[in-house]
Structure 1
Amino acid sequence: MTVFGDPNSFALIVEKLQIWNDGAGYENGIFHFVVDQRIFPRRARVSTLSADLGCLSAGNALVDFPENDAISSLGTEDAFRFLLNGMLPYLLMDENDIPDDFETDYTYQASTNNLEDDGCFAFAIGKGNMVRILAAEIEKVPHGEARRITALSEVWIEKDEVSAIISRAKSALDQGML
């Protein structure tokens, strides 16, 4: 597998798997985020690599680095919960607690299709030359409808380093080096 970045901080694990490719034009493989040594998603699943790497473009918080001092100053779980509730409130909130005039906010979304399809979400908030990356898995509580945040991870990393990681991964896919 090819690792782009430092798994102790932030990395992408990307690898094309021939067994998952039938020559139809899509390149399928494994795609994961690593945030502070935790892998998202935990399970290997088929990723259309061009789609997941394509998510890491303009409009994604790992590319745009939106800033917000109020969110940056929140504790790890409070920040993650605030950002997830702003994007997909039904995952953690009771339906009756969601305002009627709620508007979805994807400004800080950093996760890709492969992560979210397996219940993992990542967010990024810029501050100066740094970016705060938060990632966690949302899982159902046994014997109920409620969900909880698990495997919550956080890292602060230089924006230039994140940009370089994404650029190297996209370049490797474009050049057939995965």
Structure 2
Amino acid sequence: MSVELIVASVAITCALVLYTVGVFGERRSGTLSLRHVLLFWGGLACDTTGTMIMTSIAQQSEAGGFGIHGVTGLLAIVLMLVHAGWATVTLIRRNERGMKRFHAFSTFVWLTWLVPYIIGMLVGIPMIHLQAVCAIGTSVLVVAVLAFVLFRGKGGHVRAAR
């Protein structure tokens, strides 16, 4: 395994940790703090760094192409950028109504981000090394189950987004 691949993998895994701690810290506390906003920006920085390195590796190896992993990865970075920006504005304005919508959006962005993370993991780990179609299906299934669990209301009913 090349040093570039190790650095990229560590950066993207750091993004997973930072973003997960930020989103679930925010969910648990029911409020948005400067700590959460900094975790979101840190996660975005790590994910962007790791993605840029992995893109460079793919271009050098002629594995190129901008398949579903690339598309979902780009979408995730754009959503993370919007999310971190909205978090910053929401924190500065202290808008309670906007805060409630923001909490649901945070979870949505985290779940969306997991799709390319899981695809990359399943395709890239030699011991697993699933084909792209199987990796996509598996990642979507995992994220769908997580979404169901996270958006379930008390009493086992799925809550409607407001």
Structure 1-normalised TM-score?
0.28
Higher helix share: 2
Q: Which is bigger in relative contact order (C-alpha 8 A, separation at least 6)?
A: 1
Structure 2-normalised TM-score?
0.30
Higher strand share: 1
